[in-house]
């Protein structure tokens, strides 16, 4: 049994221990939660390069005691040249490829999010640490090398055949022409130089400076539709997060184009079903969580897209009467039919709460592992393939349009509970994100489990995972066999996973109690840790 970590002056959780420790070092130097998260975001992009990079997108939820929570949308839009006709001209008519320059069709917004967050820190929280300090650990690890994780080794080996032919991939991720072994030192000299340039010139240089011009040149060379004008037009946007009024308090998540509303709908449906009265290790509990997920996914697939194109206010989907109606559609002893989800996605989630209770829930991604698989020659940036989520069908909800934001599975979460506690939590994993969020929230808030217990407990995932076409209900094998049998009897198509399976995501959670004590848990399925003082 792994116990939760406790502290009072600050806490960070990340799926890689070095990122959590980078955040903690900033907190120890008097930095606030936002500054600590910028340091962690830079560090995780270097030490977990198969899961995220500075060529992806990010989303932030921000909370300061006594003030309404805020959010940062650092999602890039499709290139102005990217259109259904552009792909048809290249004989691509059914779906946008997952890999290659033509998959790199949206601006990478994450660095703009770092810049917007730093500005908020300086203007509203008295932040004083320079960007050069916040990126120092990441620069060091990129330059001097990181110990390769098993996760990086396995992901590189599994995807080598499809990624090795992509521009720049082998040079960056196959040192000496082979998959880096776990524990070996992995250096990223070009990323170190790029991060140093950002530290010196500022985050805006990525979009409107020398770095932007370098990026645009390299994107053109690999056949991407993105141009310098697309980079120059990009800005991170401040948002008001979505809010669910839950019986335990207020729960917040990110606005569209993310599926944050899905995560909140699942919790609202479970609240209406009074799931907290069930046993946390029962088939009834897992069944209701899965059935609530199906209800929420159907709404998602009808409505959630770039907010500029939505026909409904997403906050309306969280109306109590709407949630009760969805709850009433659930049969407590029969699995509803299930079609297709949005599929997998590799990402990182991290959380920070500082000694004054200021909190950040953060997520950063390049979508599939290694994104589009392309690495830019001059900067060493691995570009995302988030735009392959666009449809090439004019009638589809998320059809491709120039300047349109892609649908995102990403969604960071936080809560302010009625008992005085506050909470940041989240996970990686595409369709699994709202499902794992429901497990972490209901186990900690509904059943009173510690964050570490809630995260370590066996989990489930409805839908596809990497390299699979099955839409089964996947369960970690630590579940009681009687629970598995019962779920099958109720009509679930069950598939068993390993005991602690990375498929179900890398979750994390920090609770702040009314007395100021911080309590956190990290996922044993990851290379993560909770760092506190």
Contacts of 73 (CB under 8 A, 6+ apart): 59, 109, 236, 237, 238, 239, 254, 255
- Residue 430's nearest CA partner among 476, 389, 398 is 389
Q: Which of 194, 347, 436, 442 is catalytic?
A: 347
The widest CA-to-CA distance across the chain, in whole angstroms, is 62
Catalytic: 347?
yes
One-character DSSP codes across 131-177? HHHHTHHHHHHHHH-EEPPHHHHHHHHHHHHHHTTSTTHHHHHSGGG
In this structure, what is the dihedral angle of CA atoms 201, 202, 204, 206, given to the nearest 10 degrees?
70
- The residues, ordered by sequence, that sit 6+ positions from 32 with a Cβ below 8 Å of its Cβ are 121, 125, 126, 127, 354, 356, 358
Contact 497, 474 (CB under 8 A): yes
Specify the DSSP class assigned to residue 446: I
Peptide bond connecting 184 to the previous residue in cis, omega within 30 degrees of 0 = no
Residue 148 to residues 46, 140, 197, Cα–Cα distance (Å):
11, 15, 25
Residue 493 CB neighbours (<10 A): 14
Beta strands across the sheet bearing 5-7: 5-7, 518-522, 508-512, 422-426, 413-417, 249-253, 242-246
**CB-CB contact of 49 with 188 (8 Å):** yes
Taking the C-alpha atoms of residue 244 and residue 263, their distance in angstroms, rounded to an integer, is: 10
Nearest CA-CA partner of 372 in 187, 162, 114? 162
Opening angle at CA 479, ends 336 and 476, nearest 5? 80
Output Rg (C-alpha) for the chain, integer angstroms: 21
Nearest-10 Cα torsion for 418, 424, 428, 431: 20
Strands 413-417 and 508-512: unpaired
User: Tokens 């491709």, residue?
Assistant: 400
H/E segment holding residue 261: helix 260-272
Tokens of 81: 């040249």
- Alpha helix (H) residue ranges in 174-227: 189-201, 205-208, 210-221
Instruction: State the catalytic residues.
Output: 347
């Amino acid at each position: 049994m792994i116990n939760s970590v406790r502290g009072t002056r600050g806490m960070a959780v990340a799926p890689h221990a070095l990122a959590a420790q980078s955040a903690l070092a900033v907190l120890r130097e008097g930095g606030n939660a936002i500054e600590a998260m910028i340091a962690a975001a830079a560090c995780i992009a270097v030490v977990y390069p198969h899961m995220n990079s500075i060529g992806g997108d990010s989303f932030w939820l921000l909370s300061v005691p006594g003030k309404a929570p805020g959010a940062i949308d650092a999602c890039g839009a499709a290139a102005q040249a990217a259109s259904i006709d552009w792909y048809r001209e290249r004989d691509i008519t059914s779906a946008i490829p997952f890999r290659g320059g033509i998959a790199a069709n949206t601006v990478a917004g994450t660095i703009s999010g770092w810049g917007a967050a730093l500005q908020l820190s300086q203007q509203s929280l008295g932040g004083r640490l320079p960007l050069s300090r916040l990126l120092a650990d990441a620069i060091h690890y990129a330059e001097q090398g990181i110990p390769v994780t098993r996760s990086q080794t396995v992901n590189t080996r599994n995807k080598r055949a499809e990624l090795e032919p992509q521009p720049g991939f082998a040079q960056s991720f196959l040192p000496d022409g082979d998959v880096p072994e776990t524990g070996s030192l992995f250096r990223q000299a070009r990323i170190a130089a790029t991060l140093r340039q950002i530290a010196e010139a500022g985050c805006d240089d990525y979009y409107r400076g020398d770095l932007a011009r370098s990026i645009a040149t390299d994107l053109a060379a690999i056949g991407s539709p993105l141009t310098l004008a697309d980079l120059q037009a990009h800005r991170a946007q401040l948002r008001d997060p979505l809010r669910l009024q839950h019986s335990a308090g207020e729960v917040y998540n990110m606005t569209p184009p993310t599926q944050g509303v899905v995560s909140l709908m699942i919790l609202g449906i479970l609240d209406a079903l009074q799931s907290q009265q069930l046993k946390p290790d029962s088939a009834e509990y897992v069944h209701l969580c899965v059935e609530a997920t199906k209800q929420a996914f159907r709404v998602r697939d009808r409505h959630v897209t770039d907010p500029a194109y939505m026909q409904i206010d997403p906050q309306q989907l969280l109306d109590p009467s709407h949630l009760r109606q969805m709850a009433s559609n659930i049969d407590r002893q029969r699995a509803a039919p299930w079609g297709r989800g949005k599929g997998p996605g590799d990402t990182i989630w991290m959380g920070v709460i500082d000694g004054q209770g200021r909190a950040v829930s953060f997520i950063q991604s390049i979508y599939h592992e290694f994104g589009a698989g392309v690495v830019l020659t001059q900067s060493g940036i691995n570009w995302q393939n988030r735009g392959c989520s666009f449809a090439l069908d004019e009638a589809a909800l998320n059809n491709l349009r120039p300047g349109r934001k892609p649908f995102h599975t990403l969604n960071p979460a936080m809560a302010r509970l009625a008992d005085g506690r506050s909470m940041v939590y989240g996970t990686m994993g595409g369709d699994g994100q709202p499902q794992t969020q429901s497990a972490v929230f209901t186990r900690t808030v509904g059943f009173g489990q510690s964050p570490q217990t809630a995260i370590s407990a066996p989990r489930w995932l409805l839908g596809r995972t990497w390299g699979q076409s099955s839409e089964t209900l996947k369960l970690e094998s630590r579940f009681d066999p009687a629970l598995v049998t019962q779920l099958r009897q109720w009509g679930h198509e069950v598939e068993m996973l390993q005991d602690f399976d990375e498929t179900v995501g890398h979750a994390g959670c920090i609770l702040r109690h009314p007395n100021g004590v911080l309590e956190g848990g990290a996922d044993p399925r990851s290379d993560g840790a909770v760092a506190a003082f």
